[in-house]
Structure 1
Amino acid sequence: MTAGGTLRLSFWRVIVAVIVLSALIAGSFFVYKAWASARTVDGAEAWFAGYADVTATPSYAFESPIDAAANDVVLAFIVADPTEGCEPTWGGAYSLDEAAEQLDLDRRLVRLEQAGGGYTVSFGGLNNDELATSCTDPDELRDAYRAVIDRYKVTTVDFDIEANDLSDTAGGERRAEAVAELQSERRSAGDELAVWLTLPGATFGLTEEGTDTVARFLEAGVDLAGVNVMTMNFGASRDKGETLGEASIRAAEAAHRQLSALYTRAGTPLSDAAVWAKIGITPMIGQNDNAEEVFLPADAEMLNTFALEKGVGRMSMWSLNRDTTCGANYVTLSVVSDSCSGIEQKDFRFAQALAKGLSGTAERAAGLITTFEPVDPDDLVDDPATSPYQIWSEEGTYLAGTKVVWHRNVYRAKWWTSGDLPDNPVLVEWETPWELIGPVLPGETPVEPPTLPDGTYPEWAGAAVYEKDARVLFDGIPFQAKWWNQGESPAAASSNPDGSPWTPLSVADIEAVLEELGISTEE
């Protein structure tokens, strides 16, 4: 995890299908339709656990936490043996038995539990092959995962999928199928197995390969505890002057929208709160791999406040090994160290800031199961009398800035649009012309949209010649010419906005015209 992985962004689209969901209730099957929503079982408490690199030197004494924020750890990383692809190892250097003998790992884990701490195990990471990449036999892969889970008696596992592991489609399918079988197997036996995916993030959210990974797990039938976003090494996706705390918040918000869309596409739409409970955030404390990016304690405090407000399910960090000031002999602070943060700080300063107010543990949350509850279709019907804006229509045309109501939510058009569903579950913001503003509030009444008086502009005529910036009305909508034209209908602006010489006026443009005419737009 010392790097966020390669960031790639391209189109990823699937057609939203109408899906019939079934749930076992009171000994019989109750059928939900595609409008059913899902929720996470009540009782989840957000938890904090920093990653601890098991094989890094100098060794980090996670078994003797001297601060409560370091009581719980995510042990990193279980990977494939470099020569025996189906053999689980710690960091490619120690088999499970060798780790017990040479690192005293098993004994240290017992000591951690005796001290009141807890641990989970993470598979993957940046620098080695995750088991599914090297182990091509599905049965052997499942056995390898089972061996780790049984050896360390964990109820929560984390899959940190990066780099080549993330781009390996076949390996990703093997991983998802194996994890689905193990989770089903353990739950059938009355045991718990919570599954987290840890994936590279940017300010636009998960990469396409990341969303593909989530979709693959959902399709395989894995009940994901959540998706943990690595908010680090943002590179070009970070705005100039933006702090890493601000960039991390943008990444988490974008990932929330993506995860919501992925569950909707899988036929199990979640409420906003339920999605936030499935979001994890993991910054890289102090100096990041990008030399100009430094995550400061103030960023940690900002991110913690955000997480508490939103109700995220998990907070982590890379790593507990690094949550201390570098010694005097470590002079090149812009080069990332495995054992210090690269900034002046108190010990466990980042863990304390990120863990504040998070009282849960991974073990207590491991038994939560995503279940479904029906939603009355009548609750999605929009009433014109109580809607502040016009109700969206597939046949309608909407200028940039126009607000509409759909399924009791208010949306604003980012550009001219017609026929685009406001709540279409897209994975990236630029795939939809609509921006969600928020729900319709109790007691709201219709707000009249701004319109231009008859005769403000002449009606478009096919034989007329129009100079640049000329304005006309076409089917009641005002348009402005982008260049000289004749016989070019404004109707083409919807199907070919770049090639058409016409662009519709935005709501802001209309309001400016009304102001020039001395007509107030205030209620």
Structure 2
Amino acid sequence: MSGIAPATPKAAAASGPHDGKRLSPLRVIIAAGAIAALSLGAFVAVQSFDSAQADGVSPWFAGYVDVTATPTYAFETPASPEDADVVLSFVVASTDDPCVPTWGTAYTLDGASKDLDLDRRLARLRQAGGDAVVSFGGQLNDELATGCSDPAALQAAYASVVDRYQLSTIDLDIEGSALADSAAGERRATAIAALQQAKRDAGEELAVWLTLPVAPSGLTEDATDTVAQMLKAGVDLAGVNVMTMNYGTSRGTDSMADASIDALEATHRQLDALYSKADIQLSDATLWSKIGATPMAGQNDVKGDVFGLADAQALNAFAQKQGLGRMSLWSLNRDTTCGPNYVDLKRVSDACSGIAQGDQTFAGLLSAGLPGHPDLSASSVTTPDADQPVVDNPATSPYPIWAEESSYLKGTKIVWHGNVYQAKWWTRGDIPDDPVLNDWETPWTLVGPVLPGETPYKALTLPEGTYPDWAGAAAYEKGARVLFDGVPYESKWWNQGASPEASSADPDSSPWVPLTEDEISAALATPAAS
């Protein structure tokens, strides 16, 4: 993706930049909107808003703001409640000293205060009830850990930004060459783990989000390695925010929303595997709460990728349904229709979306039903909470329950831990819900949950006489068909004395294979065999 004085230490349990903000004008506007929703019957939405303040884990929206872009985006005077929380980007290494943080290499922290009034504007935002997350990295310049090899200096560099802007949440946007730099990843993870622990030891909060590129198939190996490095170093990740944008040919014919949903589902599977490997067992719901999505408004950097208003609505609906922890947008700078003087809508602008938005905004559509705020979520601490596996009941399972000793042909459906899975190829002994980083690592596809009221699987049968009954003493040529307890089978090769009953337990060795539904339908439509 593409003022006030420097902060002084917080007084314990006294005052700070976040104190009192829940009664600010913008919060009052939000509360008023919740009351209006209640009058329309949206009681759940109001409950969610109350929960956000009570438990600090309600999903939140914050759009990115490119701090150094021209014209300057006035984030300090949000036009609507959904613009109240922002992700200021990007803090990167100075070109003169890799251990010195700067805004886009153009301004030191002091320089941004002087030339951009950044400190004062941030204070004004907080007075109005909003708050800011700061993002480190991005695509164009060097993230601090890339060149700063001194561990103490690197931790101090991160801390200087956190302390100056009194942050409760930071965002680490790792992409491009930085993503493949394993040594930098190790330094970054070690420094962030130490900084987060120091903050918690001091009674302060520091939520850490990783922002990573994604494809519809999920995170790349470099990206999953980056997550693993953080977990190994002991960083308590608030979550992984994936850049649902710029898919190019990997999107195929899918809409931008559908491609983004595929990417999020793949990321969920990958996080399950990564946390399991880190010996941290989390429930599906908790894993969803640790995932964020950041689409790019309108025209993406890839010419054929245009994220429209309908895509925003669909992605928001998915986020609400699954309980994503975060939604963002690249960027608030771009969240407006281009003026008539901007005629080349296929060229990406940093000041408009490139599509006609009418009176709608991407921020308004993407933030719907996400009532939380970053500062309220920062106190959340990850604790293992995996659900106990469902014990499958043969009496209520629509397909056979998976068994380790059984073999399964391609297309076979089974039940495991309350879900239906289908085999992508022949498999034996592969646990259907074993966490894997990549879809190709498992022979099973999750179809969906076992539904209430489903009945046990019964093999399809044919009327007596449709084919001869199997006889143990008879010899059968390849292609011969028989009935065994009414179930039709076809011989794969010449055999004698091999019971079709054994085919379900060992389909490879058995000479018999049950007929498919289509073959059974065809048999029913023809006269009985002699």
Q: Calculate the TM-score normalised by the size of structure 2.
A: 0.79
In structure 1, the residue matched to 2:132 is 119
Which of 277, 294, 299 aligns to 2:311? It is 299
In structure 1, the residue matched to 2:201 is 188
User: Could you tell me how far 1:264 is from its partner in structure 2?
Assistant: 2.0
In structure 2, the residue matched to 1:33 is none
Describe how 1:51-90 pairs up with structure 2 within 5 A. Answer: 51-90=64-103
Which of 291, 311, 321 aligns to 1:279? It is 291
In structure 2, the residue matched to 1:256 is 268
- Residues 198 and 477 of structure 1: is their aligned pair in 2 closer, same or farther, counting only changes over 3 Å? farther
Contact 1:477 1:504 in 2 (8 A): no
Contact 1:194 1:225 in 2 (8 A): yes
Query: For residues 313-372 of structure 1, what are the alpha-carbon distances to aligned partners after superposition, in whole Å with 9 as ceiling and x for unaligned?
Result: 111010001111222332222111111111222476111111112111000011011113
In structure 2, the residue matched to 1:422 is 432
Give the AA of the match of 1:419: G
Contact 1:389 1:449 in 2 (8 A): no
In structure 2, the residue matched to 1:233 is 246
Query: For 1:424 and 1:450, how far apart are their aligned partners in 2?
Result: 30
- Residues 426 and 150 of structure 1: is their aligned pair in 2 closer, same or farther, counting only changes over 3 Å? same
- Helix, strand or coil for the counterpart of 2:162? helix
Question: Do structure 1's residue 315 and structure 2's residue 321 form an aligned pair?
Answer: no
Question: Do structure 1's residue 433 and structure 2's residue 446 form an aligned pair?
Answer: no
Contact 1:54 1:90 in 2 (8 A): yes
Contact 1:203 1:234 in 2 (8 A): yes
- Helix, strand or coil for the counterpart of 1:270? coil
- Residues 65 and 380 of structure 1: is their aligned pair in 2 closer, same or farther, counting only changes over 3 Å? closer
User: Could you tell me how far 1:410 is from its partner in structure 2?
Assistant: 2.4
Query: For residues 441-477 of structure 1, what are the alpha-carbon distances to aligned partners after superposition, in whole Å with 9 as ceiling and x for unaligned?
Result: 4554421244799978999xxxx997xxx6799xx99
- Helix, strand or coil for the counterpart of 1:329? coil
Give the AA of the match of 1:399: L
User: Could you tell me how far 1:407 is from its partner in structure 2?
Assistant: 2.8
User: Could you tell me how far 1:426 is from its partner in structure 2?
Assistant: 1.0
- Residues 317 and 375 of structure 1: is their aligned pair in 2 closer, same or farther, counting only changes over 3 Å? closer
Percent of pairs with identical residues: 56
- After TM superposition, where is structure 1 displaced by more than 6 Å over at least 4 residues in a row? 451-459, 476-481, 502-505
- Residues 119 and 457 of structure 1: is their aligned pair in 2 closer, same or farther, counting only changes over 3 Å? farther
- Residues 57 and 503 of structure 1: is their aligned pair in 2 closer, same or farther, counting only changes over 3 Å? farther
Q: Calculate the TM-score normalised by the size of structure 1.
A: 0.80
Question: Do structure 1's residue 265 and structure 2's residue 277 form an aligned pair?
Answer: yes
- Residues 224 and 504 of structure 1: is their aligned pair in 2 closer, same or farther, counting only changes over 3 Å? farther
Query: For residues 19-66 of structure 1, what are the alpha-carbon distances to aligned partners after superposition, in whole Å with 9 as ceiling and x for unaligned?
Result: xxxxxxxxxxxxxxxxxxxxx995521111000000111111111111
Which of 128, 150, 155 aligns to 2:141? It is 128
Contact 1:325 1:347 in 2 (8 A): no
Answer 1 or 2: which has greater helix percent: 2
Query: For residues 361-390 of structure 1, what are the alpha-carbon distances to aligned partners after superposition, in whole Å with 9 as ceiling and x for unaligned?
Result: 0000110111134766xx554343443322
User: Could you tell me how far 1:141 is from its partner in structure 2?
Assistant: 0.9
In structure 2, the residue matched to 1:330 is 342
Give the AA of the match of 1:306: F
In structure 2, the residue matched to 1:363 is 375
Contact 1:399 1:504 in 2 (8 A): no
Answer 1 or 2: which has greater strand percent: 1
Give the AA of the match of 1:235: G
If asked which structure has higher relative contact order (CA below 8 Å, sep 6+), I would say 1
Give the AA of the match of 1:193: L
Give the AA of the match of 1:423: D
Query: For residues 284-337 of structure 1, what are the alpha-carbon distances to aligned partners after superposition, in whole Å with 9 as ceiling and x for unaligned?
Result: 001101111111111111111111111111110100011112223322221111
- Residues 478 and 142 of structure 1: is their aligned pair in 2 closer, same or farther, counting only changes over 3 Å? farther
In structure 2, the residue matched to 1:411 is 421
Question: Do structure 1's residue 390 and structure 2's residue 400 form an aligned pair?
Answer: yes
- Residues 135 and 433 of structure 1: is their aligned pair in 2 closer, same or farther, counting only changes over 3 Å? same
User: Could you tell me how far 1:195 is from its partner in structure 2?
Assistant: 0.7
Query: For residues 85-127 of structure 1, what are the alpha-carbon distances to aligned partners after superposition, in whole Å with 9 as ceiling and x for unaligned?
Result: 1111100111111111111110110111112211100011010
Query: For 1:168 and 1:480, how far apart are their aligned partners in 2?
Result: 56
In structure 2, the residue matched to 1:245 is 257
Query: For 2:451 and 2:130, how far apart are their aligned partners in 1?
Result: 45
Structure 2's unaligned 5+ residue stretches are 3-51, 496-507
**Whose Rg is larger?**
2
440-449 or 360-369: bigger deviation: 440-449
- Helix, strand or coil for the counterpart of 2:64? strand
Give the AA of the match of 1:515: S
- Residues 456 and 71 of structure 1: is their aligned pair in 2 closer, same or farther, counting only changes over 3 Å? farther
Question: Do structure 1's residue 354 and structure 2's residue 360 form an aligned pair?
Answer: no
279-288 or 382-391: bigger deviation: 382-391
State the Cα RMSD in Å: 3.5
Structure 1's unaligned 5+ residue stretches are 3-39, 488-499
- Residues 430 and 182 of structure 1: is their aligned pair in 2 closer, same or farther, counting only changes over 3 Å? same
Give the AA of the match of 1:314: R
User: Could you tell me how far 1:434 is from its partner in structure 2?
Assistant: 0.8
Which of 84, 88, 98 aligns to 2:111? It is 98
Contact 1:192 1:367 in 2 (8 A): yes
In structure 2, the residue matched to 1:175 is 188
- Residues 60 and 373 of structure 1: is their aligned pair in 2 closer, same or farther, counting only changes over 3 Å? closer
- Helix, strand or coil for the counterpart of 2:516? helix
Aligned residues: 462
Query: For 2:261 and 2:518, how far apart are their aligned partners in 1?
Result: 34
- Residues 374 and 324 of structure 1: is their aligned pair in 2 closer, same or farther, counting only changes over 3 Å? closer
Query: For 1:515 and 1:471, how far apart are their aligned partners in 2?
Result: 17
Query: For 1:276 and 1:66, how far apart are their aligned partners in 2?
Result: 30
